[in-house]
Amino acid sequence: MRAMVTVPCRLAFVPFLLAALTAQGDPSLLDAKRVGGGEFAAARFGPARWLDGAHYATLEPGADGATLELVRYDAVTGARSVLVGAARLARAGKQAIVVEDYAFAPDGARLLVFTESERVWRQNTRGEYYVLALDGSRPPARLGGDLSKGSLQFAKWSPDGSRVAYVSGNDLWVENAVTGARTRLTDQGSRTRIHGTFDWVYEEEFDCRDGFRWSPDGSAIAFWQLDCSGVGEFLMIDNLADRYARTLPVQYPKAGTTNSACRVGVVSAKGGAITWMQTPGDPRETYLPRMAWHPQGKELMVQWLPRAQNELRVLACDVATGAARVVHEEKDEAYVDVRDDFAWCDGGERFFWTSDTAFAQPGQKRWRQAGTIVWDTRGKQVLVTHLPLTAGFDVIEVAHVDLAREQLYVAASDHGARKGLRGVGIGATEGFNGPADGWHEHQVSPDGSLAIRTRSSFDVPPTIEVVRLPSGEVARTLVDNQALRARYAAVQKGRNEFFTVDLGGGVVLDGWAMYPAGFDPQKQWPTLFHVYGEPWSQTVKDTWSLGHHLFHRWLTQRGYLVMSLDARGTPAPKGRDWRKALYQQLGVVSTADWQTAVTKLRAQHAWMDPSRQAVWGWSGGGAMTLNLLFRCPDLFAAGMSVAPVTDIALYDTIYQERYCGDPRRVPEVYRECSPITHASNLQASLLLVHGTADDNVHYQNSERLVDALVRHGKRFEFLAYPNRSHSIHEGAGTRAHLYDALADFLQRRVPAGPR
């Protein structure tokens, strides 16, 4: 979740160039190939791991230029030493190990290396693991024995560093890091019975992948089990692999259908009987999205949600008996978000928590605030069970919490714009992390004294620095992206601006605009609006975001203004009521906001040509594009909808039911919130785009919309990308082709340039 900053960014005017010009031989001009390629990709840093309060580790190319070495840096001075050189990664008769991820053993004597990975849904989480002795006393040792090559997932050290636990074939294993002796902790792992990892919908919507946790003393492991039997299978069709199509089944619970049954178990690290936690409710009608061991090792913290997701309980589960008690509970008339910023305090006496409701005072605006909650009140006289730590502003992200040292760093705002880090309880309250504009992200050191800060702004590539906290003083620059800045500086640009639109009734939308070079306000110009409009993301952010931003910059060169708005329901720091405004009105409230905002903008700006206005979006933005075209048929002349959800009943249980309820109980909500219901109203030109191998928003969505539009006698254009996923990026030239197709449609339907 991210917040916005509405800070103007001004660039110099340069003469307007006609859209007919191309980028060939002119570094100032863009084209589809430059937009869809990697020419303007920013240099990255890391991934880095803090080793302590003063040093971090990262991967860098070795002397041979090919092998990645693990190196250690003094964060402030830059002093460098090699922890694992190329020689340590060599294997007899084989190519050296290519390090993709790594973890130090608790005693620092060995390293666990992940390599040869394969993609599982969105991320590469399956592959090979090796144990390396950092003193070079033995060659790299592969884990897994005779288990299938490349089948291991989420391997991690025991607290004493003697063993490694991992998942293979959807079962849990423990292996001695020295002898290689293995113990199987679960059996019957299969495609429909999953131990230690998750099904598609838990991974996609709860960000759950690694599904087990070592106990603090290493004697036991807690893990998730999912029983996916009965979950509907959606068949993906591959028409490219052979002359005969092959089907790829994906277990995908669509809204209102059967979910996997989920439960949490605890098993001895030596194997044996499993103790199942006695969480309330039908396991197919409840969710267990988060779990952690209590520091004393006798209980688990489990976050529990009913299927409606309008209540969250923090459960304390006895690992010996499975008995569960409620430690904390909160409810919402819409839905409650799972909390990722949980942290133990005072050795487990309290826990850190953020909430829209738990720390609220009567009469106050419902900001998300941070505080602590007492863990165990049994038999105790507790005067304060909820201790608030923040007040008067909306906490969007927690960067660091160490209450023993009185350190709390959060990204927060009191008026809708992200203010960077705030320090709470250490004397500083806001704006102490350097420049107030732009977008700042911090990776804070364990002791809170330093951070690796990435800062960028709307048209400025990122700079990565080591900064001191709480002052924000730059200690060392890690990446300045000067080459990219110079390359991008040569690109023809008009000015940018951030603005607001007051809709009345206390509703103010944030927006941005990108102008063509040489913009003349005395003439009329075509405008393309970029939309997302759902609770998962924002478009109005003062940050460098390369993909669509470069596409939009190209369109300004062709003679378009490009604008975007964030309507109610987007995850901005504007309070609980703003963020949850779309409950059971997905696509309804946001469409009304957009209609009012665009109408107001037209009234304010005579240069906006009402006959040449278009809208486009991807995924939820693709659905919003359809909503705007179908619900407000006179608002736009054209729209481009990429990978849209056209009927929300076709999307998954966790996401869709969170925001719209259960279609078995509120079918009228699903009818009204689905763009396809209003397809007969289409008057504008429409380009529909979808990848046929989209496992997230199924191609079925666009096929059903095509069927409806044909039935209603509506003309449209349709572009399908075979075997491309939701991101439509696979295959050489795919993104360039897509951006070119969008620009071509726009030019044909909403001609560029001033009039």
Question: Reduced to 3 states, what is the DSSP secondary structure of residue 271?
Answer: coil
Helix axes 546-558, 734-749, angle to 10 degrees: 40
Asked if residue 254 belongs to a domain, the reply is yes
Backbone CA torsion sign across 122, 125, 127, 130 = positive
Looking at residue 420, what is its pLDDT?
Answer: 54
> Rounded to an integer, what distance in angstroms lies between the CA atom of residue 266 and that of residue 300?
9
Asked if residue 560 belongs to a domain, the reply is yes
Looking at residue 436, what is its pLDDT?
Answer: 56
Strands 525-530 and 561-566: parallel
> Rounded to an integer, what distance in angstroms lies between the CA atom of residue 668 and that of residue 751?
39
Supply the Cα-derived Rg of the chain in whole angstroms.
27
Nearest to 154 by CA among 133, 184, 123: 123
Domain boundary among 280, 299, 330: 330
> Rounded to an integer, what distance in angstroms lies between the CA atom of residue 634 and that of residue 645?
22
Q: How many C-beta atoms lie closer than 10 Å to residue 320's C-beta?
A: 10
Q: Which single residue is written with the structure tokens 């969505």?
A: 701
Looking at residue 361, what is its pLDDT?
Answer: 75
Beta strand extents in 568-656 (DSSP E only): 608-618, 638-642
Token pair for residue 143?
Answer: 């884990």
CA 116-122-123 angle, to 5 degrees, is 30
Q: Which residues, at least 6 apart from 415, have a Cβ–Cβ distance to it below 8 Å?
A: none
Q: How far apart are the first and last CA of the chain?
A: 41
Q: Which residues, at least 6 apart from 644, have a Cβ–Cβ distance to it below 8 Å?
A: 617, 619, 622, 623, 625, 626, 675, 688, 690, 697, 701, 702, 705
Question: Reduced to 3 states, what is the DSSP secondary structure of residue 718?
Answer: strand
Asked if residue 680 belongs to a domain, the reply is yes
Asked if residue 575 belongs to a domain, the reply is yes
Q: Classify burial at 347, counting beta carbons within 10 Å of its beta carbon; exposed 0-12, middle 13-18, buried 19 or more.
A: exposed
- Taking only the tens place, the pLDDT of each residue in 169-219 is 999 999 999 999 999 999 999 999 999 999 999 999 999 999 999 999 999
Looking at residue 24, what is its pLDDT?
Answer: 65
Looking at residue 676, what is its pLDDT?
Answer: 98
Asked if residue 303 belongs to a domain, the reply is no
Sheet of 55-61: strands edge to edge? Answer: 49-50, 55-61, 68-74, 80-84
Asked if residue 497 belongs to a domain, the reply is yes
Backbone angles phi, psi at 85, to 5 degrees: -85, 175
Looking at residue 415, what is its pLDDT?
Answer: 62
Nearest to 425 by CA among 466, 394, 473, 388: 388
What does pLDDT average to in each consecutive run of 10 residues of the chain (755 residues)?
29 30 77 94 91 95 84 97 90 85 93 95 94 90 96 98 98 96 96 97 97 98 98 96 94 98 98 98 98 98 98 98 96 96 94 90 83 84 71 86 89 64 43 60 94 93 94 95 96 96 96 97 98 94 90 98 97 93 97 98 97 98 98 98 98 98 98 98 98 98 98 98 96 97 98 97
Taking CA atoms, 712 is separated from 453, 589, 631, 685, 755, in Å, by: 53, 26, 15, 15, 35
- If phi > 0 it is left, if psi is from -120 to 50 it is alpha, else beta; for residue 232 that is beta
> 324, 302 in Cβ contact below 8 A?
yes
> 422, 444 in Cβ contact below 8 A?
no
Nearest to 58 by CA among 446, 452, 484: 452
> Rounded to an integer, what distance in angstroms lies between the CA atom of residue 393 and that of residue 366?
9
Looking at residue 620, what is its pLDDT?
Answer: 97
Domain holding 571: CATH number?
A: 3.40.50.1820
Cα atoms found within 13 Å of the Cα of residue 386, Cβ hemisphere only = 15
Identify the domain containing residue 732 by its residue range: 492-749
Kind plus residue range of the DSSP H or E element containing 528: strand 525-530
> Rounded to an integer, what distance in angstroms lies between the CA atom of residue 686 and that of residue 646?
14
Domain boundary among 330, 357, 384: 330
Asked if residue 741 belongs to a domain, the reply is yes
pTM here is 0.93
The DSSP 8-state label assigned to residue 221 in this structure reads E
Reduce the secondary structure of 550-571 to three states and give it as a string: HHHHHHHHHCCEEEEEECCCCC
Domain boundary among 270, 303, 330: 330
Strands 261-268 and 608-618: unpaired
Asked if residue 129 belongs to a domain, the reply is no
The count of structural domains within the chain is: 2
